[in-house]
Structure formats: C-alpha cells, structure tokens
Amino acid sequence: MSEKFTVTVKTEKRDKTIEIEKGTTFEQLSVNFRKEHKGIITIARSSNLLYELASEIPESMDIEFLDTTNYEGSVVYARGASFLLVKSIKDIFGMDTKIVIENSLNGNLYCEIHKDGVNVDDELLKNIVDKMHEYSKENITIEKPEISTEKAVKLSMQQGMEDKARLLKYMKISRVSAYKIGEFYDYYYGYMVPSTGYINNFDLKKYESGFLLLLPSRKNPEKFNEIKGFEKISAVFMEQLRWCELMGVKNVADLNDAIAHGHFAELVRINEALHEKKIARIADEIAARKDKVKLILIAGPSSSGKTSFAQRLCIQLRVNGLKPHTIGMDNYFLDRDKTPLDAEGHPDYENINALDLDKFNQDLSDLIDGKEALIPSFDFILGKRRVGGTPVKLDKGDVIVCEGIHGLNDELTKMIPNEKKYRIFISAMTQLNVDCHNRISTSDSRLIRRIARDFRSRGRDAAATIETWRDVRRGEERNIFPFQENANVIFNSATIYELSVLKVYVEPLLMQIDATMPQYIIAHRLIKFLDYFLCASPEAIPNNSLIKEFVGGSIFDVN
C-alpha cells in the first residue's frame, strides 16, 4: 500500500487541502491549478524555500505555485527560454557557435551570436524561432543530472563554452548540477522549468548588433515586454560592452583570472579612470551650455551611488569654472500631517506631492532670476519644517545641483524652462556576466551594495535590508524608472570589479539568515551567486570611488 500525506495549496481565491501519494512531483500537482493562474506556473514555494516543479513533494506542507506574473516565476521562465534559445542556435549553427546573453532591457534579453559568417537578420531569427517552437511542441524533458565538476568542465569545452569551463574551475565543489536537453548540457545559476513545453510564448527581434529575446510581460503575460522608449538605456549598455572589451573582462571567469594573476589593482585603476572621464565629459557638456543651464537634476534608484557622483560632478564643474550650490530636496518635505497617504492609509514619503512643490519651484525660479531665496531645512525628528532658512543667491557662473528620486519628473520643476535644466540619470547597470548564458541582475547588484552600506552606516542587518527591498523596488518602478529616458545623460555607476570586493562584506551578513526566516529565498540566491567570485581587497580602490560609499573610507560625506 502506497504512503500518502496531505498538502495545502494556496491560491488567491482559496486554500485547498489534497491527499497525495509519496513520489508526486510539484508539476503533477500544479496541473490541477493552472486555470487559477494568469501566467505559466514555473516554480513552487513552501515557507521560505523554492522547489523546482520536477522535484518530488517531500512531505506535508503548504504550497504556493508561482507563475510568470510573479518575479521569481518570471525569472525561471526567462532562464528556460535562454536554455531553449542556446540549444536551438547550437543545433542550427554548430557547437562552436558562441551565444552571449548580455543584459536585460525592460525584461527582454539582449543577445549576440559570435561566429564567422553568421549575420543576424530577420530570416536567421525566423529559423531560430521555428527551431525553438519545434522543441517546445516536442515538450522535451529538461533533466538535471549531477556530474563531477571535472566532467562539467570537459563538456563545456566540447560544446564551445570555454568561459563556463573557466568559471567552473574556480568553484570549490567536486560536483555540480547541470541541465540537459537531449544530449546538450548547460550550467545555469538558478532554477529551471521541467520541460521545453513550458516555453511557448517568445519571439526574437533584431536589435543593435544582435537581437532581443522577447519575453512575456508580468502585468499581461499574453503580451511581450515593451521594447520602445529605452534608446538611452540601451546606449549605456552598449557603452558598457565597449568598456568590458577595453578592460578585457566580460565575465566572472575573466575577473577571477585578473585577481588570481595579480592584475586586480590595474583593473580598478582603468575602471575608475573611465568613470572619471565620463563625469568630466558631463561637466564639460554642462559648461558648454552655462549661459542657459542653471539647474542640474540628479536622480537614480537606491544604491546607485548618487551621493558620491553628485560630489564628484561638483568637483568637475569647478574645474570648468562653475560654482555649484547643492540644494537638498528633502528640505522641502511638507509637514508630516500634510503628507499624502498610500493605498493602505500610510504616509507615502516617496510621493512627489509629499514635497512642497510650489515653494521648491518658487525658490528655484528666484535663484535663476538672480534673486535671493531662503532655502528651508526640515526637522526629521519633529516632522516639521524649521522656521526661517538659509539665504542663497547665485552669482555669475553659479549653478544649482539637486539630487533626489523625483529629479527627472517634470512635475518637480514645472515652473523652470527646460533649457535651464540638465537632467542626469544614474544607476548601477552591470554588464559583467557570470558566463555567456548567465547574466547578472542589476537589481541584485544594487541590493548587495545596499546590504553593505546599511550595515556599515546604519547598523541594519541583511535581513532588515532585504525585508524592505520589495517596497524600495516598487517605489523605483513608480517614481524613477518611468522618467529615465527624460535624462540628458545616463551615467552607469557599476564597476566591473565591485562584487569581488563587496563579497567580503556581504557574504557573512547573508550567512546569518537561516531557512526559518522569510528573507531566506533571496539570501540563499545571493550566497550562491557570490560563490562564483574570488574575494578581492578594497585597498586598491581610491577613496573618491563610488564604491567607497558602500564599503567605507570615502572622502565624501556619504552617510
């Protein structure tokens, strides 16, 4: 007689308790709940753990199935689509074909094919799409064999994935879990769908020198993520690709090689020089328009290095003969009893209407017109604006520098003519990949930065930082990212070396989060991710680097 136990499946509409036989997989159980999901179910969650659908349900538990409308579910789908893409291209053009998944562009993946004689055009992409659909309809099982690291290295070399072979050599484990479609093996960082049939909604579109793998929108899974309106962000990613070429570091294996062979300090110097040159060019452009530009607005998501960037820019502006006056947007908060409320009735301090926009615009207008303005200050303990203010008046060659989350929103400076403003968007858009098929999430990179900074300067543990990260991201998606293309220039604050340094600070903090804690899913993912990197000392980093804002030792006031 077979052993049975009960599980409870939780959905938005109901909780259903079911008796199942031992050996039942999450996939077999999920079939009964597909109609209750808007997107494609790709993974299961129980308590603080994720389970691949192909795995057996180990015991009685509460289960929640995640689909492509959920962040974790969409990531698994994208990973499966990437595997299907790589398999299809190699089957068409040969195992020696190199496919590079470079970055995410609004949820779609920018990819390139590197092989002599292979030029990306519409006909080529149609052939690849047809092959992917063929494999999807066959619903081929994606196996997950555990093999020795030595065998994984050998297979990677045989299949034309030299970067993956070098990465595996740095891993301190004797065996790895690879993924397999037919006879094609690949190694992926993260969870996978159980078969090719799950990947049934995708397309390829020519873009730049490669193409975009179009993926379902989380808001509307029947449609693809938009690809228009991201030209400036795309240009920054292309610039970062050139920087990677210049530094000779395109993936984690290249970075580990640089550390192992004593070239880390040189890599830091080159990366920092590229940053300084970019900041100087921005200052030069502002100086060239000094007769018109009087207001410099800097905005960017959390942990993008805005504070250090603003201070480095001010130095370069002075080199150009301009005198910057920094005005903090936080000083224009309304008294707390006048702060707008969010949907749950809580004060929404990230709402642009939490600022006294009329006072802010009037002060800016007066300053630009050559008048004196009393700049207020806000008492965050009392939650009120202090009486009086600091008198400020601009002389010839003076400019105003404002840094804050709403800097790119025209509503913030609605009384200021556009020709008087220069907008800068800053974010840490890493171009370094784990390997050719595993990209590094920009959001994860910023979270790692924030964990290091929060612990160093605010005494917050990693669990507290992770706990608030979802709300931080939600605020960014509402208040920052929709306006990023309004910027005159975009500055990428990511450095190619930083994760090897941040690992030293962040890994021990993540280790304190155990499986009983709700932050474990994210902590576990980040620990596995950081395991790919060799550690590097921060001693080689100059004290004016944006990274010093997160690890300490900056010459700027960044706390």
What is the average pLDDT across 121-149?
97
- Residue 235: per-residue pLDDT: 87
Dihedral sign computed on CA atoms, order 221, 225, 226, 227: negative
CA 362, CA 415: separation in Å to the nearest integer?
A: 8
Is residue 205 in a domain?
A: yes
User: Nearest to residue 521, comparing CAs of 76, 72, 173, 218?
Assistant: 72
Is residue 499 in a domain?
A: yes
**Which domain CATH number covers 250?**
3.40.50.300
What is the average pLDDT across 351-360?
95
Q: How confident is the model at residue 430 (pLDDT cuts 50, 70, 90)?
A: confident
Pairing of strands 384-385, 378-379: antiparallel
Is residue 79 in a domain?
A: yes
Is residue 489 in a domain?
A: yes
Is residue 559 in a domain?
A: no
pLDDT at 346 over 80: yes
> pLDDT digits over 42-63, tens only?
999 999 999 999 999 999 999 9
Higher pLDDT, 346 or 134: 134
pLDDT at 33 over 90: yes
CA 240, CA 432: separation in Å to the nearest integer?
A: 9
User: Nearest to residue 406, comparing CAs of 543, 496, 297?
Assistant: 297
- Note whether 238 and 335 are same-domain residues: yes
What is the average pLDDT across 262-278?
96
Query: Pick from 176, 210, 228: which residue ends a domain?
Result: 228
- Residue 335: per-residue pLDDT: 94
CA 226, CA 308: separation in Å to the nearest integer?
A: 32
- Note whether 156 and 243 are same-domain residues: no
- Residue 312: per-residue pLDDT: 97
Dihedral sign computed on CA atoms, order 451, 453, 455, 458: negative
Q: How confident is the model at residue 171 (pLDDT cuts 50, 70, 90)?
A: confident
- Note whether 242 and 369 are same-domain residues: yes
Return the number of other C-beta atoms located less than 10 Å from residue 511's C-beta.
Answer: 11
**Which domain CATH number covers 91?**
3.30.980.10
**Which domain CATH number covers 30?**
3.10.20.90
- Residue 492: per-residue pLDDT: 95
Is residue 556 in a domain?
A: no
Return the number of other C-beta atoms located less than 10 Å from residue 91's C-beta.
Answer: 17
CA 547, CA 316: separation in Å to the nearest integer?
A: 19
> pLDDT digits over 66-97, tens only?
999 999 999 999 999 999 999 999 999 999 99
- Note whether 388 and 465 are same-domain residues: yes
Containing domain of residue 9, as a range? Answer: 4-67
Counting every residue written for the chain, the total comes to 559
Is residue 196 in a domain?
A: yes
- Note whether 171 and 290 are same-domain residues: no
- Residue 1: per-residue pLDDT: 55
What's the alpha-carbon Rg for the chain, to the nearest Å? 25
Chain-wide mean pLDDT for the chain? 94
CA 306, CA 283: separation in Å to the nearest integer?
A: 15
Query: Which residue has tokens 């950081």?
Result: 530
Query: Pick from 228, 253, 283: which residue ends a domain?
Result: 228
- Note whether 223 and 237 are same-domain residues: no
Strands (DSSP E) found in 162-202 = 175-177, 179-181, 184-186
CA 424, CA 313: separation in Å to the nearest integer?
A: 11
Return the number of other C-beta atoms located less than 10 Å from residue 386's C-beta.
Answer: 11
Higher pLDDT, 13 or 314: 314
- Note whether 343 and 210 are same-domain residues: no
Query: Pick from 179, 195, 228: which residue ends a domain?
Result: 228
What is the average pLDDT across 427-446?
91
- Note whether 137 and 286 are same-domain residues: no
> pLDDT digits over 172-224, tens only?
889 999 999 999 999 998 999 999 999 999 999 999 999 999 999 999 999 99
Q: What angle do CA 148, 154, 159 make, to 5 degrees?
A: 125
Tell me which of 120-134, 140-154, 162-176, 251-265 is least confident.
Answer: 162-176
What is the tally of structural domains in the chain? 3
Tell me which of 134-148, 223-237, 354-368, 486-500 is least confident.
Answer: 223-237
Counts of helices then strands in the chain (DSSP H, E): 15, 25
- Note whether 140 and 104 are same-domain residues: yes
> pLDDT digits over 383-418, tens only?
999 988 999 999 988 999 999 889 999 999 999 999
Is residue 558 in a domain?
A: no
- Note whether 183 and 255 are same-domain residues: no
- Note whether 208 and 110 are same-domain residues: yes
- Note whether 15 and 137 are same-domain residues: no
- Residue 190: per-residue pLDDT: 92
DSSP code string of 71-84: HHHHHHHHHHHHHH
User: Nearest to residue 505, comparing CAs of 463, 532, 537, 541?
Assistant: 537
Dihedral sign computed on CA atoms, order 451, 435, 477, 427: positive
